[in-house]
Amino acid sequence: MELKGCLVLAALLLPAALAFPIQDDYENSTTTTEPTEVTTQENIYESPSPTETDEEDEDIFNKILKVNKDSSQFLQEGDIVPRRSRSAINCRQCNWPQSSDGIVRIPYELDPAYEESHVKGIHDAMAEFEALTCINFVKRKAERDYLSIRSADGCWSNYGRVGGGQTVSVMKGGCMWKGVIQHELEHALGFLHEHSRSDRDKHVKIMWEYISPPDRPDFKKFENSNNLDLPYDYSSVMHYGPYTFSNTTGKATIVPIPDRSVHIGQRQGMSNLDVAKINKLYNCSRCSTILDGPSGSLRSANYPRNYSDNTNCVWLIRTRSRKVSLHFQAFQLQITKGCQGDYVKVYDGSSKSSPVLMDKTCGSKIPNGIVASSNLMLVEFTTDGAQTASGFQATFTAVRTQRRSSIHN
């Protein structure tokens, strides 16, 4: 009863303002019964690009559950720490505060037990938030509320801001995947699992017969979820995989409808809609797009008509397993000295702190093709208040990565 009361209290604590608040009849959840093989504990930073035959089906949530199977932390829905101490009356404070400059700065501390590669991995996962949203993770100075990112026993987090130092567990062994880190950070931002949305039954069918009774609360639907007027997202980094909590080998617990072949669950990182949802929940004025197909195109707004003044847009290109290759087909930007006015700039990675592949470029000469050193490339397009032009158009493809052993630099 004590546990139950605690859960009900926890369930009452999220406001409609959160993305997917918990409903108030939450039942006892259990530890996972995931009956799967032992995972190999890979580290994304030692092998930043999965090979083409890599575990595409090994979605984020599978990884999380495997690791959390041995966790002593009590968890709901597989990886969420129940809230224990917050007034249910008013949870406006569950979101992290926004500064007057529009940036939401979230202080964090890192576990000293992390090695350099882990720190880099966590920073890389955070950098995408900074590039694509107004969320900035900043090293804690003396702030009262902060994230304590620790290598505890599993991959888990609270919903939203709890107050004081709150743990986000990113265990060294099994959670060091960009998508997993981003998943847990998104919980801390106030996001629940995508399949918990009030409208989920229009998009997925929950196969209750393959879910053991103790696990069924993990599939609860939150009738009051704030869906932010954005579409259901099968490819969300917050979506369970198809076999999550299945009690029967080979039987899916979540089936997309009407097209059951739609892929759900992934571990590449935030989806375009994940980013849009963060930007909406936190009132970020950001122009950002994730392009995660094997190939595709991008162009300045209105192209081939003139682009607008005073804009700043970024495209994160994230192909699978290969290097991103970018080719411009058209390029027509206002010319200024040093391209300080309107410009395109390209980074070798997923953030503006990544190395620069093509520095600020303007004018009408079509730039040469660019190849990134990995499957990530960030393209930035900035315009000032003077003059416009038709802008640019480019295509990207994934080019084959050389074998690691043949790379000498």
Is 193 labelled a binding residue? yes
185 vs 291, beta carbon nearer Zn ion: 185
Please state the closest distance from residue 238 (CB atom) to Zn ion, in A: 7
Task: Find the shortest distance in angstroms from Cβ 183 to Zn ion.
Answer: 5
The backbone region for 269, taken as left when phi is positive above 0, alpha when psi lies in -120 to 50, beta otherwise, is left
Q: Which is nearer to Zn ion, 105 or 216 (CB)?
A: 216
Specify the residue, 77 or 380, whose C-beta has the smaller distance to Zn ion. Answer: 77
Rounded Cα distance between 76 and 340, Å, is 50
In the bound state with Zn ion, the residue whose beta carbon lies nearer, of 196 and 350, is 196
Q: Which is nearer to Zn ion, 58 or 79 (CB)?
A: 79
In degrees, rounded to 5, the angle at the alpha carbon of residue 8 between the alpha carbons of residues 6 and 10 is: 70
In the complex, what is the shortest distance from the CB of residue 193 to Zn ion, in angstroms, rounded to a whole number?
6
Question: From the candidates 34, 184, 194, 380, which is the catalytic residue?
Answer: 184
3-state secondary structure the chain: CHHHHHHHHHHHCCCCCCCCCCCCCCCCCCCCCCCCCCCCCCCCCCCCCCCCCCCCCCCHHHHHHHHHCCCCCCCECCCEECCCCCCCCCCHHHCCCCCCCCCEEEEEEECCCCCHHHHHHHHHHHHHHHHHCCEEEEECCCCCCEEEEECCCCEEEECCCCCCEEEEEECCCCCCCHHHHHHHHHHHHCCCCHHHCCCHHHCEEECHHHECHHHHHHHCCCCCCCCCCCCCCCCCCCCCCCCCCECCCCCCCEEECCCCCCCCCCCCCCCHHHHHHHHHHCCCCCEEEEECCCEEEEECCCCCCCCCCCCEEEEEEECCCCEEEEEEEEEEECCCHHHCCCEEEEECCCCCCCCEEEEEECECCCCCCEECCCCEEEEEEECCCCCCCCEEEEEEEEECCCCHHHCCC
What is the closest distance, in whole angstroms, from the C-beta atom of residue 79 to Zn ion in the complex? Answer: 4
Query: Residue 387 CB, nearest distance to Zn ion (Å)?
Result: 47
Would you say 330 and 390 are in contact if contact means Cβ atoms under 8 Å apart?
Answer: yes
Residue 303 Cβ, how far from Zn ion at the closest point, in Å? 38
Q: Is 118 annotated as a binding residue?
A: no
Nearer to Zn ion, 155 or 314 (CB): 155
Select the residue whose beta carbon is closest to Zn ion and give its number.
79
Name which of 181 and 344 has its Cβ closer to Zn ion: 181
- Active-site annotation holds for 116: no
Block residue for tokens 């969300």: 236
Q: Which residues bind Zn ion (CB under 5 A)?
A: 79
Question: Is 183 assigned to a binding site?
Answer: yes
CA–CA separation, 303 and 321 (whole Å) = 30
> Residues within the annotated binding site?
183, 187, 193
> Residues within the annotated binding site for Zn(2+)?
183, 187, 193
Residue positions annotated with a catalytic role: 184
